[in-house]
C-alpha cells in the first residue's frame, strides 16, 4: 500500500482528515487593499494593472492558510516526482539506484514519515566556501580559508581533494577481459617479464606478485608488462598489446585519479618502447607530481612502508626521465631534491632492498649528468673551447670517484653477479662517452689546435666507446633485453668507432683493426639475435647501419693505420656527417652531449667527502 501524501499526513497529525476550505482568499495586492479599490490581475497573478502602469511593486500577502496549503501541495508534487524517478532507475538497473545516498534506514524512514522532513546533508567545512554553480565555474572549486600562510599559492583555491594514496583498486577491464590476448599468452608474457626484464628496472614488481594480483591492481600495468614482454620476445601479440596499452594510457591524460601501479606501468613502457618513451615518461612525471611522491623525501630514512614506496617510486621516475633526457636531447623534467635529503639515506630505510642500491647509484649518475647539462645547455653548434678541457677532466674525476665507491658497495653487498656488473659498467662508460665526446661539438670545418690535453680527451672518448661495445658483446645472449637507453648508447658508440677507426690525430693512434673487429663482433651478435627481434627494434637499425658501413670500409681502396693530422680530425670525426642510415637511431645523432661547469664542484663537493658506509 502506498504511503499517504504529505498533505494527508499533515492533516491527520492535527486531527483534521478533511481538506480545509480556504474561507478567505486574498486576491488584491497590498497597494490596492490600502486604497480600498478593485485590483485587476491577469490570471490572478501579480502585477495588477494599476501597479504595472505606475511602475509600483505589486505584492500579494497570503494568509497562513494559503501558505500551508501551497507548501503541502509543492511537497506532494515533489514526492510524486521522486517516486517516479526511483522507479525509472530500478527499471534501468542503474548503479546509482543502490547508492548509499538514496538508501534510507528504518529510523530515517520513520522520522520522515512522522515529521515530513527532507534528509539533512552534512554541512561543508566552514573553511571552504563553495563557488556558485554557474556556466563558467565548476561546482568543486573552493576557497580554502584554512590554508597555511606558508603553503604554495595554489593551496588557497583548490578543487575537491585528489586521492594521493595511489592505492585505488582498478576496476577497468584488462587486456584479457577485452579479448586482446588469451590468458595463457598473458601468463607466458608475464613470466618472461618477471624473470628476464624486471631486474633491468630495479625489480619494481615485488617478488610475491603474481599474474592475478597484478591484473587485479591495475589494468594499465598489465598492458604495459604484456606489451614490453611481447616487444622484447618478438611475440606476434605485440601489435595488439601495443594498441591496447597506448589507448589506455591516452585515456589517462586528463584523469584526476592515478595509482602507483599506473606510474610503474608508464616507466616500464618508457624504458623499452623507444618510439613512445618520451610521451610515457612525461605522463609518469605528471602523475608522480600530482600524487606528491616527492613529499616523503624529507622523511628519509623511512619506517613507514607507504613513505618508502613513495620515495622509491619517485626516484625511479627521476631515472626514467633522465634516460629520456639523454636519448632525446632535452632537459630533464624532474629533480633529485638533494638539497632536502641525500638520496643515499633511502638505503637506511627499514624496508630498503638490495636493488635500491643500484637505483640510488644510477640516480647519482643522473645527477652528475644533469648538472653538466644545465651548465652548457643545448647548443651543440658552438665549437668546443679547448681551454675548457680542464672542466671535463674534473668531471671525469667525479665519475671515477662515483664508480670506485659504488663498485665496492655493490660488491660487498652481494651485487657482484654478472648482470649487475655489466649494467653498472655500461651506465658508467656511457656517461663517460657523453662527457668526452663534448670535444667534437661545433663546426666541422674549423680546425682546432692540437694540445696534449685535447688529444687525451679524444683518446679517452674512443676508449669509452670500445668499453661499451666490449660489455655488449659480453652479454650476447641478453642483448635484446636491455632498455632502449643502452641500445641508443650502443648506436652512438658504434658510430663513434666507425669515425675514429678511419681518422684520428697523429699524436695518438688507435688500433683500427681492433675497432673494426669489435664492431664486427657486435654485428654478428645482433645477426644471431635477428630471429628474436621485433621488426621495430632499434638493434635492427644498428645491424643495417653497421652492415653497410663495414662493407663500405672493407671494399675501400685506402686503409689507415694511424689517424690523420689533428687539424683535420674534427671533419672526419663529426658524427653528424655520416649518412642517416649508417649512424643508427636518429635520437643517437641528435643527443645534446653534456659538458661540465666551473661551479659544479661547489654543488657536489660533499658527495665524495662522505663514505658510502654512512648510508648502507
> Looking at residue 339, what is its pLDDT?
64
Q: Among residues of the chain, what percentage have pLDDT more than 90?
A: 29
Over residues 336-371, the pLDDT tens digits come to: 777 677 889 999 999 999 889 999 999 999 988 877
Confidence of residue 182 (pLDDT cuts 50, 70, 90): very high
* Mean pLDDT to the nearest integer, 232-261: 92
pLDDT over 80 at 433, yes or no: yes
* Mean pLDDT to the nearest integer, 542-555: 84
**Greater model confidence, 553 or 570:** 553
Over residues 67-88, the pLDDT tens digits come to: 777 777 888 888 888 988 888 8
Q: Which residue, chain included where needed, has cell 657486435?
A: 522
> Looking at residue 209, what is its pLDDT?
61
Which long-range contacts link 104-112 to residues 24+ away (Cβ below 8 Å)? none
**Greater model confidence, 196 or 109:** 196
Cα separation values, 555 from 420, 516, 552, 558, 560, Å: 40, 13, 5, 9, 13
Least confident among 352-366, 411-425, 508-522, 525-539: 411-425
3 state DSSP class of 171:
coil
Least confident among 36-45, 97-106, 163-172, 364-373: 97-106
Over residues 449-494, the pLDDT tens digits come to: 557 777 888 889 889 999 999 999 888 888 999 999 999 999 999 9
pLDDT over 60 at 242, yes or no: yes
> Looking at residue 13, what is its pLDDT?
63
Confidence of residue 555 (pLDDT cuts 50, 70, 90): low
Q: What is the DSSP letter of 509?
A: -
Helical H segments across 193-295, by residue range: 211-217, 219-232, 238-250, 260-272, 277-290
pLDDT over 50 at 108, yes or no: no
How far is 406 from 410, CA to CA, in rounded Å? Answer: 6
Confidence of residue 281 (pLDDT cuts 50, 70, 90): very high
**Greater model confidence, 570 or 394:** 394
The dihedral of CA 62, 65, 68, 69: what is its sign? negative
List the domain boundaries for the chain: 6-97+111-115, 183-348, 374-600
The dihedral of CA 64, 70, 76, 82: what is its sign? negative
DSSP letters spanning 351-392: T--THHHHHHHHHHHHHHHHHHHHHHTT--SSPP-GGGHHHH
pTM over 0.85: no
Q: Indicate the burial class of 497 (C-beta count within 10 angstroms; 0-12, 13-18, 19 or more).
A: buried
* Mean pLDDT to the nearest integer, 315-334: 89
Cα separation values, 507 from 47, 161, 250, 399, Å: 105, 66, 54, 26
> Looking at residue 153, what is its pLDDT?
77
Least confident among 202-211, 222-231, 539-548: 202-211
Confidence of residue 518 (pLDDT cuts 50, 70, 90): confident
Q: Among residues of the chain, what percentage have pLDDT more than 70?
A: 67
**Greater model confidence, 113 or 286:** 286
Residue 119 cell numbers, joined: 534528509
Cα separation values, 517 from 143, 306, 433, 497, Å: 69, 51, 20, 11
How far is 83 from 351, CA to CA, in rounded Å? Answer: 55
Question: Residues of 530-561 as b/e, b for ≥16 C-beta within 10 angstroms?
Answer: eeebbeebbbebbbebbeebbeebeeeeeebe
pLDDT over 60 at 607, yes or no: no
> Looking at residue 314, what is its pLDDT?
94
> Looking at residue 592, what is its pLDDT?
34
> Looking at residue 556, what is its pLDDT?
57
> Looking at residue 76, what is its pLDDT?
82
> Looking at residue 557, what is its pLDDT?
35
* Mean pLDDT to the nearest integer, 547-562: 64
Helical H segments across 437-479, by residue range: 452-474
Sheet strands (E) in 470-588: none
Q: Indicate the burial class of 394 (C-beta count within 10 angstroms; 0-12, 13-18, 19 or more).
A: middle
What does residue 482 show for φ and ψ, rounded to 5 degrees?
-80, 150
Confidence of residue 15 (pLDDT cuts 50, 70, 90): low
> Looking at residue 8, what is its pLDDT?
65
> Looking at residue 575, what is its pLDDT?
34
**Greater model confidence, 305 or 572:** 305
Q: Which residue, chain included where needed, has cell 499533515?
A: 10
Question: Residues of 83-96 as b/e, b for ≥16 C-beta within 10 angstroms?
Answer: eeeeeebeeeeeee
492 C-beta neighbours (distance < 10 Å), count: 26
How far is 334 from 314, CA to CA, in rounded Å? Answer: 9
pLDDT over 80 at 526, yes or no: yes
DSSP letters spanning 102-121: G---HHHHHHHHHH--PPPP
Confidence of residue 251 (pLDDT cuts 50, 70, 90): very high
Over residues 187-225, the pLDDT tens digits come to: 999 999 999 999 999 998 875 566 667 777 889 999 999
> Looking at residue 243, what is its pLDDT?
95
For the ranges 36-45, 113-122, 221-230, 378-387, the one whose mean pLDDT is highest? 221-230
Chain-centre distance of CA 133, in angstroms? 33
pLDDT over 60 at 571, yes or no: no
527 and 474 Cβ atoms separated by less than 8 Å: no
Residue 258 cell numbers, joined: 592515478
The dihedral of CA 136, 140, 144, 148: what is its sign? negative
Residues in the chain: 616
Mean pLDDT of the chain: 75
> Looking at residue 61, what is its pLDDT?
79
**Greater model confidence, 372 or 505:** 372
Amino acid at each position: 500500500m502506498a504511503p499517504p501524501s504529505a498533505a494527508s499526513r499533515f492533516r491527520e497529525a492535527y486531527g483534521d482528515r478533511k481538506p480545509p476550505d480556504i474561507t478567505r482568499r486574498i486576491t488584491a495586492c497590498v497597494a490596492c487593499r490600502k486604497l480600498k479599490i478593485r485590483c485587476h490581475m491577469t490570471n490572478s497573478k501579480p502585477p495588477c494593472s494599476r501597479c504595472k502602469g505606475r511602475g509600483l511593486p505589486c505584492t500579494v500577502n497570503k494568509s497562513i492558510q494559503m501558505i500551508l496549503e501551497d507548501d503541502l501541495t509543492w511537497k506532494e508534487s515533489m514526492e510524486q516526482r521522486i517516486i517516479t524517478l526511483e522507479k525509472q532507475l530500478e527499471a534501468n538497473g542503474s548503479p546509482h539506484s543502490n547508492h548509499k545516498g538514496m538508501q534510507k534506514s528504518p529510523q530515517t524512514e520513520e522520522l520522515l514519515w512522522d515529521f515530513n522532513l527532507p534528509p539533512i546533508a552534512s554541512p561543508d567545512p566552514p573553511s571552504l566556501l563553495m563557488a556558485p554553480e554557474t556556466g563558467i565555474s565548476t561546482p568543486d572549486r573552493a576557497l580554502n580559508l584554512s590554508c597555511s600562510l606558508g603553503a604554495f599559492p595554489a593551496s588557497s583555491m583548490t578543487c575537491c581533494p585528489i586521492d594521493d594514496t595511489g592505492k585505488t583498486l582498478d576496476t577497468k577491464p584488462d587486456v584479457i577481459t577485452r579479448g586482446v590476448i588469451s590468458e595463457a599468452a598473458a601468463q607466458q608474457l608475464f613470466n618472461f617479464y618477471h624473470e628476464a626484464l624486471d631486474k633491468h628496472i630495479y625489480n619494481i614488481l615485488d617478488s610475491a606478485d603474481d599474474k592475478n594480483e597484478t591484473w587485479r591492481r591495475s589494468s594499465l600495468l598489465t598492458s604495459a608488462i604484456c606489451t614490453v614482454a611481447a616487444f622484447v620476445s618478438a611475440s606476434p601479440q605485440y601489435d595488439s598489446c601495443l594498441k591496447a596499452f597506448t589507448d589506455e594510457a591516452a585515456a589517462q591524460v586528463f584523469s584526476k585519479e592515478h595509482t602507483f601501479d599506473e606510474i610503474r606501468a608508464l616507466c616500464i613502457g618508457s624504458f623499452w618502447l623507444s618510439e613512445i618513451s618520451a610521451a610515457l615518461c612525461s605522463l609518469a612525471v605528471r602523475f608522480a607530481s600530482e600524487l606528491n611522491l616527492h613529499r616523503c623525501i624529507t622523511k628519509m630514512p623511512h619506517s613507514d612502508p607507504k613513505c618508502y614506496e613513495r620515495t622509491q617510486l619517485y626516484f625511479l621516475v627521476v631515472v626514467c626521465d633522465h634516460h629520456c633526457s639523454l636519448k632525446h636531447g632535452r632537459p630533464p623534467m624532474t629533480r633529485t631534491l638533494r638539497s632536502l635529503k641525500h638520496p643515499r639515506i633511502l638505503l637506511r630505510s627499514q624496508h630498503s632492498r638490495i636493488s635500491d642500491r643500484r637505483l640510488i647509484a644510477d640516480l647519482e649518475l643522473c645527477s652528475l649528468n644533469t648538472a653538466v647539462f644545465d651548465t652548457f645547455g643545448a647548443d651543440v653548434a658552438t665549437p668546443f673551447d679547448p681551454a675548457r678541457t680542464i672542466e671535463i677532466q674534473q668531471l671525469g674525476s667525479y665519475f671515477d670517484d662515483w664508480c670506485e665507491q659504488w663498485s665496492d658497495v655493490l660488491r660487498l653487498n652481494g651485487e657482484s653477479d654478472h648482470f649487475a656488473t655489466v649494467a653498472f659498467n655500461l651506465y658508467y662508460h656511457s656517461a663517460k662517452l657523453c662527457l668526452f665526446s663534448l670535444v667534437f661539438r661545433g663546426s666541422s670545418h674549423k680546425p682546432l689546435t692540437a694540445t696534449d690535453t685535447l688529444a687525451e680527451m679524444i683518446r679517452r672518448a674512443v676508449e669509452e666507446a670500445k668499453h661499451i661495445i666490449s660489455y655488449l658483446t659480453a652479454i650476447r645472449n641478453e642483448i635484446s633485453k636491455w632498455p632502449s637507453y643502452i641500445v641508443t648508447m650502443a648506436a652512438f658508440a658504434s658510430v663513434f668507432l666507425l669515425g675514429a677507426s678511419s681518422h684520428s690525430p697523429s699524436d695518438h693512434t688507435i688500433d683500427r683493426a681492433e675497432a673494426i673487429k669489435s664492431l664486427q663482433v657486435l654485428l654478428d651478435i645482433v645477426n644471431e639475435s635477428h630471429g628474436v627481434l621485433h621488426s621495430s627494434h632499434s638493434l635492427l637499425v644498428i645491424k643495417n647501419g653497421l652492415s653497410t658501413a663495414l662493407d663500405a670500409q672493407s671494399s675501400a681502396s685506402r686503409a689507415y693505420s694511424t689517424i690523420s693530422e689533428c687539424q683535420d680530425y674534427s671533419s672526419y670525426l663529426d658524427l653528424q656527417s655520416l649518412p642517416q642510415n649508417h649512424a643508427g637511431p636518429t635520437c643517437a645523432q641528435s643527443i645534446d652531449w653534456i659538458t661540465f661547469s666551473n661551479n659544479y664542484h661547489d654543488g657536489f663537493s660533499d658527495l665524495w667527502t662522505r663514505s658510502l658506509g654512512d648510508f648502507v
